[in-house]
Amino acid sequence: MTSQNPVFIPGPTNMPEAIRKACDMATIDHRSSVFADLLHPLRADLKRVLKGDTAEVFLFPSTGTGGWETAITNTLSPGDGVLAARNGMFSHRWIDMCQRHGLDVTVLETPWGAGLPADRIQEALSADKEHRIKAVLATHNETATGVVSDIAALRRALDAAGHPALLLVDGVSSIASMDFRFDEWGVDIAVTGSQKGFMLPPGLAIVAFSPKAMAAVETAKLPRTFFDIRDMAKGYAAGGYPYTPAVGLMNGLRLSCRMLLDEGLENVFARHHRIAEGVRRAAAAWNMPLCAVDASVESDTVSAVRTPEGFDSTKFVSHAAQSYDMAFGVGLGEVAGKVFRIGHLGSLTDAMMLSGLATAEMAMVDLGLPVKLGSGVAAAQDYYRQSLAQQRMAAE
């Protein structure tokens, strides 16, 4: 059922064998001290990965979507104002969730491919004299378009407007792969999952609350039980959980954090940048622009590659899957049929990435796209070997 090839979807990502073995764990008693001995150091490690000394970290047997719901239901009340820019499918879905939970969302429509518009957000906040907006939603990395946004700029926008809204950040496809600074950026809630930068199977939502967000929990009126962090916090204080925890995934996440921290977060980010840059050079060699409008918003975890006008990019993804047993990401929403996506996050080597690029080339040529076999590979090889040589020299 599984392939020997790596996957190049933008998550779930390829899993290191050691992490898979850590997840594949025999049953323990989750009400025993063995569990507490796992839980507390894990939460501490996650704060380090988030660069969030002030954060309270919660883990739910769920996904990033559940993390979003945790963020809004624990801090907001029906009718509360929320401000969000829509620049892709994932920002869209979070907005949709808010609307379905009875929040009053002000949507700033933003071109797909552009980053979140800090200036327009500042404007909207400044205009909100009565502070009806209680939260600003921000998708750090739009997985649909391969666009990373500047969260520090959003914080500056909030501060410049002198607005007390909470800053809620979706870091599902950025955290543990690209720099994320919970404390420094004044993030109030960060949401992520197990299945991207943490290189685990899906099944865990990871949510971090600032002290200000913790304070908002007391007055939030949206109903919640499964995602209620008050139950979770009470459980943690007693070394336990309000229901059955996903122990194996938590054990794997512990190892993942240790691997990330042992490698060094900055090294992890640099590694993602290297791999990503090779992919971008390959796309350039193919004469295919990225969905990202300029280099400043290019994501180091996923690239959305625009295929020529008139070509259905979904065909490429199907053909690569059927003929070469290799998974790339389809375009979603507004860019469906117009882009295909190459995920380059998590556990990847140069060789794995080159196998993805080489296979993409074969599939594109099969479908008549004007791509020269080996051209993108050569561009990536050239970058990989030179950057590696520089690393070696720097290390000497």
Q: How far is the CB of 107 from a second copy (least distance, A)?
A: 17
252: tokens are 């794997």
91: tokens are 């920002």
Q: Closest CB to a second copy among 296 and 323?
A: 323
CA–CA gap between residue 268 and residue 274 (Å, rounded)? 10
Q: Closest CB to a second copy among 39 and 161?
A: 39
Q: Closest CB to a second copy among 195 and 299?
A: 195
Q: How far is the CB of 3 from a second copy (least distance, A)?
A: 7
Q: How far is the CB of 227 from a second copy (least distance, A)?
A: 8
CA–CA gap between residue 148 and residue 174 (Å, rounded)? 8
Q: Closest CB to a second copy among 152 and 362?
A: 362
Beta-carbon neighbour count of residue 39 at 10 Å?
21
CA–CA gap between residue 214 and residue 56 (Å, rounded)? 8
User: How far does CA 64 lie from the centroid of its chain?
Assistant: 9
Q: Closest CB to a second copy among 126 and 287?
A: 287
Q: Closest CB to a second copy among 185 and 227?
A: 227
Q: Closest CB to a second copy among 155 and 254?
A: 254
The residues that bridge with 138 in the sheet, in sequence order, are 169
Q: Closest CB to a second copy among 4 and 53?
A: 4
Q: How far is the CB of 287 from a second copy (least distance, A)?
A: 16
Q: How far is the CB of 295 from a second copy (least distance, A)?
A: 24
Q: Closest CB to a second copy among 9 and 152?
A: 9
Q: How far is the CB of 114 from a second copy (least distance, A)?
A: 24
Q: How far is the CB of 158 from a second copy (least distance, A)?
A: 25
**Three-state SS string across the chain, please?**
CCCCCCCECCCCCCCCHHHHHHHCCCCCCCCCHHHHHHHHHHHHHHHHHHCCCCCEEEEEECCHHHHHHHHHHCCCCCCCEEEEEECCHHHHHHHHHHHHCCCEEEEEECCECECCCHHHHHHHHHHCCCCCEEEEEEECEECCCCEECCHHHHHHHHHHHCCCCEEEEECCCCCCCCCCCCCCCCCCEEEEECCCCCCCCCCEEEEEECHHHHHHHCCCCCCCCCCCHHHHHHHHHCCCCCCCCCHHHHHHHHHHHHHHHHHCHHHHHHHHHHHHHHHHHHHHHCCCCECCCCHHHECCCEEEEECCCCCCHHHHHHHHHHHHCCCEEECCHHHCCCEEEEECCCCCCHHHHHHHHHHHHHHHHHCCCCCCCCHHHHHHHHHHHHHHHHHHHHHC
Q: How far is the CB of 187 from a second copy (least distance, A)?
A: 22
Q: How far is the CB of 157 from a second copy (least distance, A)?
A: 27
Q: Closest CB to a second copy among 5 and 54?
A: 5
Q: How far is the CB of 279 from a second copy (least distance, A)?
A: 14
Query: At 219, phi and psi to the nearest 5?
Result: -105, -5
